[in-house]
Amino acid sequence: MLFVTVTDLLDGYRKFYLSSKIEEYTCIGADSSFSISFKKANGNNISVEAGGEFLCEVNKNLLAKSIFEASSNFINRYINKLSKDDPVAEDLITFFFRFQRIL
Across-strand partners of 27? 36
* pTM of the predicted protein model: 0.95
Over the stretch 31-82, which tens digit does the pLDDT of each residue have?
A: 888 999 999 999 999 999 998 999 999 999 999 999 999 999 999 999 999 9
Question: Domain span at residue 69?
Answer: 2-100
6 to each of 39, 47, 75, 86, 89, how far by Cα in Å?
Answer: 19, 19, 9, 15, 11
Number of domains in the chain: 1
Across-strand partners of 50? 36, 53
